[in-house]
Structure 1
């Protein structure tokens, strides 16, 4: 191996850390600085190597032999003994299944899950998604019509994907609110930095979620859908899939299908309703909602980072990485890489390379639910713009509260009201 630097150049001083509220509110200056000055940068505060350029992130994702997925679902912060005991009492276990699986059965499990989220099934589900969105918006409309505000993030975007998932997979006997709360708790526990007391509360919810999934996987009545498919699955040697791995598959699919899709919908709604011209085009122009969602995925995706670990010493962008180096792939930063996307700060729904972003990953671990997420987000956005054509932000110019986990970012509130005649909303006009 040629001689290389062993440490990257330092970041410019004064930039916020990954969990700093300033970074959560506006990560773009930090991401741009990383790309320019230190594209493979060691962050001692988190023990992670930050990889920020599009070409580097793509090369990592496409080389699963050198960059392993083993750490993809590790907790960001060390869990205290009290939390570990709470999880242990619930029987919590997440053996390698999908995102963190480099084993021989990964491809088979992936194919099994993909049967339930392929393009044909997603297309067939569109009328159901439209009905679900319409039902939820109808419930909001009476309050909205009399001038009250509605939170499209909390009351619509967060729960719509959960209800869709339940209908797709035949889940009954539990509320969407409960499943969404469990999913959100899982993300916060494993990807956030909650204080110890909060960690314990989250662990109790995560344990309850895992116990419910275990009961579903074990139920003799679950013979259809994803869970039925997992029960029928046989490994290459003819043995059935163990319950712990089946639960791990469901754990990942439920969270990805609920929380991250809801986060995408919330961001797409926020950025569209900021500009009345965009809101009107979403409602009126065929295909515009889909193009808008794609630009949101490029510029402001819900999954902002993902992790890999080096299998051996290697070199990336002139930086030598030791074996076992923990990498954080800055997916959000790659969507704004000017080497790939012209004028990346501008939302331009009809740019030529609109689908070249890496927000769903790449290679053998590319997101299984990409088609469903795109479709749900576009349907949800279009339905809201048509149902609430005169919507505007209740407090224009006031920044929303943002979810700020290591790998997930989205507005927690998108509060809208009816627009009066004199209202004007800020926002760039799309090309």
Structure 2
């Protein structure tokens, strides 16, 4: 018992020091007796499978709505979301990576033993150090770097198509494009771009997915304990990688090692690890989710699937419409620095704000006929799928490019594919800020003699 108390005190200190930030609110999504919106459960099957009716009602009836189940203030109008993203003095990024579901002592003990800590680095960093760290990242993800990487992305996409099982047969069991193509493509691209070595893509994907579920999901205690182990291993690997003095010149790790903070001091290991943690998760898991959605939606429109391989710009235009209507990052968080008024509602200081990015892309005041997929829509890029302002996603250009290349290569190499489960729909990833199909089941159209 004495050792357990000591461990608990150590964990408590970790929480107080900010190593394991948590919103600290219940996330049971229970129904409430305050009208129809009280039935909203952000993790429930109804919302995850078809969030649009809920988002439309929020936008029309309660554009700034406090969700009793999570304690979060849901902001759903494009205008209000953009204001929050651009006003970094009143709306701080400090809670952007907080654990949605509080981490019990048993789970935190696993992480403490691994030395897990994520100080502010990128998405959750409102300090003066943010700009310099962002510049380090942008060196690898700017438009010129991404354009130079297109042949590499195409090569990897072709290699993955070559390895797909069953693509040589006319009929047979459905083929799933999610794991062997949509997930692996951005992981391998990221590893080549950043000079990452010493880990295989499957392991990196598993670590990243575990981190998303642990920090943005509503897992049970038993599931949290399962997830804590790979997340701890992920952090330990990142720490060892950052400390590696042999990181190759020109690699992301070497760039972090050479970086200096505003006061001239070298970047500390913990913050470098935190930057890597965010870049690796965002650069592969969320991009894989985008690719999966792009493929699934394109497969339901034979004109898009056939045209993406040959028509210049169609793949890129389709990706932009998917980002507008069905982005992989569906929400993002901010916290108010002071009492403020938003959308006609008074928010107290310290209010936890949830920006409904997915709903903003269907705001009819900005996007006419928003439910219609319209590649080439004139104002498509007004969506907020990548955020806006100072914290605009640094990997936006890479994600767009990878998704377009993935669609173009798949459509060219596999022109006869069609969805294998168009009626039922695939299982969906339903985390607080991430939504995507977990399967892209396809089959070949049978050829008539």
Task: Give the distance between the partners of 1:238 and 1:354, measured in 2 at CA.
Answer: 41
How far apart are 1:143 and its partner, in Å? 4.0
Aligned twin of 2:339: 313
Question: Which among 419, 423, 428 is matched to residue 393 of structure 1?
Answer: 419
Aligned twin of 1:34: 58
TM-score computed with the length of structure 2 as normaliser: 0.90
Q: Deviations over 1:153-211 (max 9, x none)?
A: 12210111001011111122211000000000000000001111110111100000000
Task: Give the distance between the partners of 2:195 and 2:377, measured in 1 at CA.
Answer: 38
Aligned twin of 2:41: 17
Seen in structure 2, the aligned counterparts of structure 1 residues 295 and 206 have a Cα distance that, compared at 3 Å, is same
State the secondary structure of the residue aligned to 1:355. helix
TM-score computed with the length of structure 1 as normaliser: 0.94
Aligned twin of 2:139: 115
Aligned twin of 1:427: none
Aligned twin of 1:62: 86
1:175 aligns with 2:200: yes
Question: Which among 277, 283, 301 is matched to residue 309 of structure 2?
Answer: 283
Task: Give the distance between the partners of 1:223 and 1:265, measured in 2 at CA.
Answer: 30
Does structure 1 retain, via aligned residues, the 8 Å contact 2:121–2:275? Answer: yes
Q: Deviations over 1:360-414 (max 9, x none)?
A: 0001000000000000000001111111100011123121100000000000000
Q: Deviations over 1:314-343 (max 9, x none)?
A: 000110000000000000000000000000
How far apart are 1:144 and its partner, in Å? 4.7
Aligned twin of 2:189: 164
1:132-281 counterparts in 2 under 5 A?
132-140=156-164, 142-148=166-172, 149-224=174-249, 225-281=251-307
Aligned twin of 2:118: 94
Question: Cα RMSD over matched residues?
Answer: 1.4
Task: Give the distance between the partners of 1:29 and 1:17, measured in 2 at CA.
Answer: 13
Task: Give the distance between the partners of 2:248 and 2:405, measured in 1 at CA.
Answer: 30
Aligned twin of 1:53: 77
Does structure 2 retain, via aligned residues, the 8 Å contact 1:11–1:33? Answer: no
Q: Deviations over 1:279-299 (max 9, x none)?
A: 101112111000000000000
Task: Give the distance between the partners of 1:381 and 1:133, measured in 2 at CA.
Answer: 10
How far apart are 1:215 and its partner, in Å? 0.6
1:414 aligns with 2:424: no
Task: Give the distance between the partners of 1:340 and 1:13, measured in 2 at CA.
Answer: 24
Does structure 2 retain, via aligned residues, the 8 Å contact 1:144–1:417? Answer: no
Seen in structure 2, the aligned counterparts of structure 1 residues 276 and 141 have a Cα distance that, compared at 3 Å, is farther
Task: Give the distance between the partners of 2:437 and 2:71, measured in 1 at CA.
Answer: 27
Seen in structure 2, the aligned counterparts of structure 1 residues 176 and 218 have a Cα distance that, compared at 3 Å, is same
Question: Which among 347, 359, 376 is matched to residue 333 of structure 1?
Answer: 359
Larger CA deviation: 91-100 vs 170-179: 170-179
Does structure 1 retain, via aligned residues, the 8 Å contact 2:65–2:73? Answer: yes
How far apart are 1:142 and its partner, in Å? 4.5
Aligned twin of 1:425: none
Aligned twin of 2:12: none
How far apart are 1:146 and its partner, in Å? 4.4
Does structure 1 retain, via aligned residues, the 8 Å contact 2:428–2:437? Answer: yes
Task: Give the distance between the partners of 2:166 and 2:297, measured in 1 at CA.
Answer: 24
Does structure 1 retain, via aligned residues, the 8 Å contact 2:114–2:235? Answer: yes
How far apart are 1:223 and its partner, in Å? 3.9
Aligned twin of 1:292: 318
How far apart are 1:421 and its partner, in Å? 4.9
How far apart are 1:139 and its partner, in Å? 0.7
